[in-house]
Structure 1
Amino acid sequence: MRRTRAAAAAAVAVSLLSAATACGGGSTGAEGGSNTAPKELTYWASNQGPDITADQATLGPELKKFEEQTGIKVKLEVVPWSDLLNRILAATASGQGPDVLNIGNTWSSSLQATGALLPWTAKNFDAIGGRDRFVESAIGSAGAAGQDPAAVPLYSMSYALYYNKKVFQEAGIEKPPATWDEMVTIGRKLSKDGRWALGAEGSNLSNNIHQAFVLSKQHGAEFFDAAGKPTFDTAANVDAVKQYVDLMAKDKIIAPGNAEYDKNQSLQDFSNGKTAMVLWQNAASTFKAHGMKEGDWGVAPVPVPAGGAPGSGKNTNSMVAGINLAVFKNTDNTDGALKFVKFMTSDEEQKILNRTYGSIPPVKAAQTDPAFATDDLTVLRNTLSTSAAPLPQVPEESQFETAVGTAVKELFADAAAGRPVTAESVKAKLTKAQQQMSS
């Protein structure tokens, strides 16, 4: 038996505020975990494809391949994004989690602070082929600066603006909006006859944070000061969040029903022609799964304020997105878990999985595959390298996502119900979120 103290980040999502018992089988090895080698691992994968069934179909053959190579069976559970963070926080607090799991790279510092994840020391990196195989910026989003990473990169991503070429052509619109002013002008032309210009996921807390973060950067704001203190309700952050929600509340280019979306419904609406544009990470594979063909959609950088270009001045237009692979420290099969991480981050598997999901391999050698030179991925790669910024690398990051993401969700609910969304109401929600961080 071992004990793992849950950090404050876990406290916001679970009520386990004191040290919780974590059970790990076998004797403890030098790097954590056990020296025994059971023939089974449990793996929580995040929902990367159009639905959970699609992920099971994608990962199943690869996990079987790993079993054939090592004799280790992997029990797979694909967890929806709407549930994943709370599931992980509960597991870090209780010690009852999987052996290996996917985490959003923005959560790395928060989950690292719980002490529940295996640190990626030089020895552990050597066991999977070395740290230098990975793009350094991806490693930089795997934990707090100055500490051994809490995970290794699996899929790299950034946001882009996807638009329906046919809808644009029929409306006589020659190119996608490059600024937010153009987004509203074009959006009003497109929002008619039962179709809406832009899709959103108003109940998806992570997506809410990603959009609010980008707009906050564009307004010259920060959600935390240099000392790590929350600054959620500054005037610039209020303006940023209001600008996003106003796309529904004032500009009327997002359908009110999108306030309830949280599980990729906006991508399905786009694929079905119900919306003309969507802001998303690496969405091509989902579009194809819903019947679209290559060439049906175009991809462009996320809009920036008028008078600028992506990457210049305050014109950040994406967060540094990605999925990392972590190992629970109390696994009873550290050796098997390391073998699994090595397999999933091997050059060949990186090509297979990132091709399927339309993401960018964080493993350098895998990026040479011509499959990653498409128009879509070129825009995404350029965004990552020139105009994306990492979310706050603070231990409370997951708590921040929950608190501010919920504030944006509630504001979308107000907009959908026809209740006024004002600077005062936005500030009140952000102040409440900031007070939750203090508690």
Structure 2
Amino acid sequence: MRSIRAAATGAVMLSLALAASACGGGSSTGGGSDDSPKELTYWASNQGAGIEIDKKVLQPELDKFEKQTGIKVKLEVVPWSDLLNRILTATTSGQGPDVLNIGNTWSASLQATGALLPWDAKNFDRIGGRDRFVDSALGSTGADGQDPAAVPLYSMAYALYYNKQMFADAGIDGPPATWDELVAAGKKLSKDGKWGLGAEGSNPAENVHHAFVFAEQHGADFFTDDGRADFTGDGTVAAVKQYVDLMAKDEIIAPGNAEYAQNQSVSDFAKGRTGMLLWQSASANLKSQGMSEDAYGIAPVPVQSGTPGAGKQVNSMVAGINLAVFKNSDNLDGATEFVKFMTSDAEQRILNTAYSSIPPVEAAQEDPAFASPANAVLRDTLAKSAVALPQVPDESQFETAVGTAIKELFADAAAGRAVTTDSVKAALTKAQQQMPKK
């Protein structure tokens, strides 16, 4: 998840990156050099509850890679609030790492800068072949018709986490399957200083992810077939309003959540302050905050009616992390070897187990560790009812503009100002005006 400031800066810098044709990475401050072919710099995204947790997960694996290859990997775990901004700075300055994690929704935007190594058939063959990866993960690696800009590393999906004891105390028999049921459950849970549902109202990425799912359920999209922004259609307006109304009208989200941006809603859920949470692969995060797996259940994200599935029954975006290489790295061979290592069957089992994510490598998914009830929900969602965010060059600006518009609507709701169809449409009109002109 990324902060407003970082995402807004990123949108401006992406335009600069596109204009500069992207210099790439692998500089004296980041990647390996001709004098140091046995060294790589790796920017990892913050996947755990804190940066130190990521270091504990990753460093033993990097040490293992060094022992196998003789290549030392210098690790930096970059917070989500800084990651996109750091990457875009690297594409224009040439001061970047050799290998880096990217949010898979950024793939097409970063691909358009020209900074990242294209994963053509030859490069895929060097890491064991393209057919090792599941199709849904490959669908979020860049624009259609182009070689992927990155390789899938962790696959995730949104799910509904619910507090079993709070449900029992409120007389709720089981997890809601529709939004009407979720609102009804949320009202029963919202009492005595506790709330039905947590949200990250000040987090643009989280806002966009949920708005995208609601839009899909309304049969709408934020982009036309030719890639033009279209934020103000009836379906998209209704989708955004339905999401914000969980606070504004239904009153099952605490007004203070309008200011949340960095995992606070996960912490509230872990501490029993909220009864439900919509989150990507949250089990490891909850465990690190002391919540027992027995204390919560996991179910598919609700839909408008019926059960999740194809078409309008989409209930998650295809979430995940991709692994990319700056194409002007001075150590492309070492960087490719590192990608091969990180996406090997063995490492995929280790890393995705640590982060409660799903391996995008088919063979690794067969491990019994990924057959738990929680993982079964995520795997089923990715296979049947998840859709990739638009793989268009302007996706990064879309996240910034629409995510910020929703943040402002949540602020209105928290302050007691009316959130109406007209005010939602006005906010989305303003967001669309911030998009690059076609």
TM superposition score normalised by structure 1: 0.93
Number of aligned residue pairs: give it.
Answer: 424
**Pairs within 5 Å for 1:319-358:** 319-358=317-356
The answer for the alignment partner of 2:196 in structure 1 is 197
Secondary structure of the equivalent of 1:194? Answer: coil
The answer for the alignment partner of 2:217 in structure 1 is 218
Aligned residue type for 1:425: S
Check conservation: 2:247, 2:255, Cα contact below 8 A: yes
The answer for the alignment partner of 1:29 in structure 2 is none
Per-residue deviation, residues 47-76 of structure 1 (Å, max 9, x unmatched): 111111111111111111111222222111
**Comparing 360-369 and 83-92, the one that deviates more:** 83-92
The answer for the alignment partner of 2:359 in structure 1 is 361
Offset at 1:313? 4.2
Offset at 1:23? 7.5
CA distance in 1, matches of 2:22, 2:212: 36
**Pairs within 5 Å for 1:289-300:** 289-300=288-299
Offset at 1:20? 7.1
The answer for the alignment partner of 1:22 in structure 2 is 23
Check conservation: 1:403, 1:436, Cα contact below 8 A: yes
Which 4+ stretches in 1 moved above 4 angstroms? Answer: 23-26, 33-37
Offset at 1:37? 5.7
Check conservation: 1:133, 1:365, Cα contact below 8 A: yes
Offset at 1:140? 2.1
Secondary structure of the equivalent of 1:12? Answer: helix
Q: Percent identity?
A: 71
CA distance in 2, matches of 1:20, 1:438: 17
Aligned residue type for 1:22: C
CA distance in 2, matches of 1:195, 1:305: 25
Secondary structure of the equivalent of 2:293? Answer: coil
CA distance in 2, matches of 1:23, 1:186: 49
**Pairs within 5 Å for 1:219-234:** 219-234=218-233
Check conservation: 1:198, 1:276, Cα contact below 8 A: yes
**Pairs within 5 Å for 1:225-264:** 225-264=224-263
Q: Which runs of 5+ in 2 are unaligned?
A: 1-8
**Pairs within 5 Å for 1:81-230:** 81-230=80-229
Per-residue deviation, residues 299-353 of structure 1 (Å, max 9, x unmatched): 11101113x2211541111011111000011211101101111111111110000
Say if 1:339 and 1:166 are closer, same or farther in 2 by CA, change over 3 A: same
CA distance in 1, matches of 2:157, 2:21: 36
Per-residue deviation, residues 246-295 of structure 1 (Å, max 9, x unmatched): 11111111111111111111111110001111001100001111111122
Per-residue deviation, residues 171-206 of structure 1 (Å, max 9, x unmatched): 111111111111111101100111111010111111
**Comparing 129-138 and 383-392, the one that deviates more:** 129-138
Secondary structure of the equivalent of 2:16? Answer: coil
Say if 1:335 and 1:415 are closer, same or farther in 2 by CA, change over 3 A: same
Offset at 1:93? 2.5
Q: 1:373 aligns with which of 360, 366, 371?
A: 371
Secondary structure of the equivalent of 2:312? Answer: coil
The answer for the alignment partner of 1:12 in structure 2 is 12
Check conservation: 1:20, 1:95, Cα contact below 8 A: no
Offset at 1:393? 1.4
Check conservation: 2:13, 2:85, Cα contact below 8 A: yes
TM superposition score normalised by structure 2: 0.93
Offset at 1:36? 7.3
Say if 1:23 and 1:410 are closer, same or farther in 2 by CA, change over 3 A: closer
| Cα RMSD, aligned residues only | 1.9
Check conservation: 2:212, 2:389, Cα contact below 8 A: yes
Say if 1:95 and 1:269 are closer, same or farther in 2 by CA, change over 3 A: same
The answer for the alignment partner of 1:410 in structure 2 is 408
Say if 1:165 and 1:78 are closer, same or farther in 2 by CA, change over 3 A: same
Aligned residue type for 2:321: I
**Comparing 80-89 and 253-262, the one that deviates more:** 80-89
**Comparing 250-259 and 210-219, the one that deviates more:** 250-259
